[in-house]
Each structure stands twice: as C-alpha cells, then as structure tokens.
Chains A and B, each alone.
Chain A
Amino acid sequence: MKKITVVFLFALCPLIPVSARFAYGLILAVAMCWYLVAGILVRELVKRLDIGATGPTIELVSLALSATAFYLALSAYSPVNSVSLGLYIFITAFSYLILLGIDTFSPDDAVAVPLLQVVPVLLFFSALREILGFGTISLPVPDGLRLIEILPGFSGYGLGFWGTTGGALILLSFLAWTIKYLHRRIATFRRNL
C-alpha cells in the first residue's frame, strides 16, 4: 500500500502542472520510457568503466543529454508541443531519477517497477483530468493538439476547476483515499476468510 501511495507522490512533480491534457501526459510517458532505456545503457557503461565517485555526476549529465535529445526530437515532430512542454521535459527527467533511486548509485537498487507503475497512472490521471476539466481527449499532432469531444455540451455544465493545479491535487487526494480505502477493505476481507 505504502509503495503505491509513494509512487503517486513521486509522480506529483510532472503530473500536476501539465497533466491537464492527455496529449501532454502521453508525451511525458514516452519521455519516461526513453529515459529508462537511455538510463539503463548509461548505467551499464558507467558500471563497466568503473569510475567510482564521479559516476552519479556522469549519469546526471547523461540524463540531461538524453532529455535534450528527446526535446530536439519533439521539436522536430511538433514544435508547438515542444514549446508548451519545454521545461517539463527536463523536470520529468529529474522525476525519473527519484523513481529509479539513482542517488544510491547501486545497479542492484535500480528497480524499474515504480517507473512502470507511474506510466499508466500518468496516462489515466491525465485522461481523467481532461475529461472532467475540458470534456475532451487530446492527442499530440505536429500542429499541436487534436481534440476529440467526449462530453458534448461541456461548456454548459462542465467544471473547468479539475484542470487547475488545485483541482488536480484534490482529485489526487480522492484517488489516494480510494486506494487506501480499498486496500483496507480487501485486507479485512482476507483476514475474515
């Protein structure tokens, strides 16, 4: 239980400001996966070179390099989205660091499980926020975002509040409560069996 809640919290940083749109969540999820692949390669290289204490700094700089590479690739595909996300591409790289426990700098501690849990959470949460906040689902296209209307007439009755930071944090608190509640009920049920 604690692990799941902690994953939620670790994912807060990139989730809150940009996850108002599913398209952004999707781009950041791809970025996370790219950092994982690049990170594994760099980690393996650093391990083989056996450079001791300078290893974490080299990994950090390599991570910044892979974030720059992702940013350039995104700029080539969709300049509009790269401008909109800008800083968050790099912030996601730092969140990736937390998820991977890179600061212990031990290959044995590099568990990819929290990262792989965050990707679906990021996608689900951004989709939920966009539906509740805008009544649409967006997809990244070269010209920006392609909006697909999910809730017709949203402007008449919708509550854009869920698209804001305050709304996202309150929504996240409901999700954390739901997980905690379900976990407790399941544990009680199993005990009574």
Chain B
Amino acid sequence: MQNFDVFFYYSFSCSILLTYGIGLEKAFFDSRPDSRFIARAPGILAEMILSVVAVYLLDTRVLFHPDFRVLVPMSTVFVCALVQTLVSLVNPSGMRDISTGERIFYFGTVFLAVSEGGSLPDALIIAVASVIAFYCASILLFSVRQRIASATVPVDWKGAPLILASMGLLAIVMHSADISWWIQEVYR
C-alpha cells in the first residue's frame, strides 16, 4: 500500500512536471501532432531505470560514506550520459534525435528520484511514476491541441497562450487529488 501511495503521489498529486517543473517544455513540444513521443517511451523508461539503479548505488555505497556529497551532481550527469550512450549503442535509431529538453527531463528525473527516494525501490517507483505523469500530461495536451485546431478561437489565443492556460488547468486538476474528500476516504 505504501508503494502505491508513493506511486500515486508522484504520478498525480506531486508530479515531477507540475510541482518541480521538470519536463514542462518537453511536454509542450512533444504534444505537437508530428512528435514521436510515444515511440520514445521504452527507451526513456529503460534509460531511467538503469540510471536510477546506477546513480543510487554509486551515491549510497561510495559517495555518501566518505562524504563526497558535493560530487553527486557531477556523478549523476556523468552516469546518465554514460547510460544514454550505452542505450544508444543498443538502439541507435531510437536515440538519434535526443533533444536538450529530453536530457533535462531525464537528468532531472534521475536526480529527483535518487534524492527523494528513501530506498532503491522508492527511487525506482518515483522515476517510473514521473515518466507516467509526463506521458499522461503529454497525451492530455495532445488532445487539447487537436481540439484547438478544429475549434474557432481568437487568433491571439491560438498556440502558446491557450496551451499554457490548459497546462494551468491541468495543474489544478492534478493537485485536486490532494484535497478531494473521496480520495481521502479511499485511503482511509
């Protein structure tokens, strides 16, 4: 139940996208009609899981003991870049067009999962929940974009302004789980 609680919390109530702002710009650009964000999902998930395991073990077994905590950000970036290179060797076609936005989402998620996860399973759950939160938001924004394309909206509202407003409403909806009495009842 506790694992489910952590998963739900990082997928919706405290999603990486809307609470920490990690991957916001990626969700914005990936929700465009011509994007390949669904095709990239297995690669991102594989990178994420491998990196979280590697960074968590490196941090807890090596860097925390002699208290080399200042090296954690550099080692995280280094390990993530290494894992990304390894995954790109296994699947070169899927990894050709990695954007900077995706790197930020990837590095940021690994960094957050390792720093907030109390144990390795917790860190893995946070990473997976973050990827799910990102994909949920991207799919919802994709639908919003489709509705906007076929709707009659004032020209100045088309594009970025309306998508930003939609993201704002999405943030309110995601956080509503925290204050909904029926969810509290379910947990009780």
A contact residues vs B (CB 8 Å cutoff): 5, 8-10, 12-18, 57, 60-61, 63-65, 67-68, 71-72, 87, 90-91, 94-95, 97-98, 101-103, 164-170, 172-174, 176-177, 180-181, 184
Contacts of A176 in B (CB 8 A): 160-161, 164
Instruction: Determine if B161 and A173 form an interchain contact, defined as CB atoms under 8 angstroms apart.
Output: yes
CA distance A165 to B99 in the complex (A): 25
Instruction: Determine if B73 and A170 form an interchain contact, defined as CB atoms under 8 angstroms apart.
Output: no
Q: Which of B81, B159, B162, B175 interacts with A60 by CB under 8 Å?
A: B81
Number of residues in B with C-beta < 8 Å to the partner? 42
By beta carbon, the residue of chain A nearest B27 is A12
Main secondary structure of the interface of B (DSSP, over half): helix
Contacts of A98 in B (CB 8 A): 25, 100-101, 104
Q: Which of A8, A61, A71 interacts with B78 by CB under 8 Å?
A: A61
Whether B18 is near chain A, meaning CB under 8 Å from some CB there, is yes
Instruction: Determine if A165 and B25 form an interchain contact, defined as CB atoms under 8 angstroms apart.
Output: no
Instruction: Determine if B111 and A173 form an interchain contact, defined as CB atoms under 8 angstroms apart.
Output: no
Residue with the greatest number of chain B CB neighbours at <10 A, chosen from A12, A15, A164: A12
Instruction: Determine if A184 and B155 form an interchain contact, defined as CB atoms under 8 angstroms apart.
Output: yes
Instruction: Determine if B104 and A61 form an interchain contact, defined as CB atoms under 8 angstroms apart.
Output: no
**How many A-B residue contacts, CB cutoff 8 Å?**
126
Instruction: Determine if A91 and B20 form an interchain contact, defined as CB atoms under 8 angstroms apart.
Output: yes
Instruction: Determine if A87 and B112 form an interchain contact, defined as CB atoms under 8 angstroms apart.
Output: yes
Instruction: Determine if B168 and A94 form an interchain contact, defined as CB atoms under 8 angstroms apart.
Output: no
Instruction: Determine if B25 and A13 form an interchain contact, defined as CB atoms under 8 angstroms apart.
Output: yes
Q: Tell me the chain B residues, 84-103 only, with Cβ under 8 Å from chain A.
A: 99-101, 103
CA distance A177 to B165 in the complex (A): 10
CA distance A76 to B151 in the complex (A): 54
Residue with the greatest number of chain B CB neighbours at <10 A, chosen from A9, A16, A164, A169: A169
Annotate B165-182 by CB proximity to A: 1 below 8 A, 0 otherwise.
101110110010000000
Least CB distance from A42 to B in Å reads 13
Instruction: Determine if B161 and A12 form an interchain contact, defined as CB atoms under 8 angstroms apart.
Output: no
Whether B22 is near chain A, meaning CB under 8 Å from some CB there, is yes
Contacts of B70 in A (CB 8 A): 68, 72
CA distance A16 to B22 in the complex (A): 10
